[in-house]
Amino acid sequence: MKLSRENLVARAAKVRLFIFDVDGVLTDGSLSYGAEGELIKTFNVHDGLGIKLLQEAGIKTAIISARRTPIVLARAKDLGIEYVHQGGHDKLTPFQALLEQLGLTPDQVGFIGDDVVDLPILSRVGFAVSVPNGRPEVHARSHHVTDAAGGRGAVREVCEFVLRAQGSYDRIMAQFLV
């Protein structure tokens, strides 16, 4: 669903929690296996800093992923993401539990996803985002599609959009511009 920039900014300004999918969003969606059969995922360092900047602005962050892997727990720990749910295509149940736990309404939540298992959350949140490499069904139900691809800066792009919408981008960036 195509929204005006003003509408996107208004939706992003309300975000108090941002939830990230992993495969296809925090990664490019590729699954690599090592010689011993271990799963290897590649994360983008710029995306990671974007998440840290959201947290610095007081926005809570979470991961809800259908795939279960210790790699995601390690990345979440590295980034200080407190809320992580992995395993199962039912993403709606952990989403609703998180809302209840944090005392938030769906319009205070942003979510970025790329595949059909993300639709139950995307169709409920106030700021629904997808990536260019996302499925057409997901694009059709997202408020915004990033310019950068999943695993290639899409998360950083949306984090900066939220920070700008909330008027905290310049304050957060000032620490780097000394």
User: How many C-beta atoms lie closer than 10 Å to residue 174's C-beta?
Assistant: 9
Quick check: pTM over 0.85?
yes
**What CATH number is given for 5-174 in this structure?**
3.40.50.1000
Gap between the Cα atoms of 37 and 58, Å rounded: 39
- The pLDDT of residue 106 is 98
The partner residues of 19 in beta bridges, in order of sequence, read 62, 111
**How is the chain split into domains, by residue range?**
5-174
Dihedral (CA of 56, 70, 97, 63) sign: positive
- The pLDDT of residue 142 is 97
- What are the per-10-residue average pLDDT scores of the chain (178 residues)? 88 98 94 85 95 98 94 96 94 97 98 97 98 97 97 98 98 91
**Residue among 7, 21, 14, 6 at smallest CA distance from 111:** 21
Length of the chain as a residue count? 178
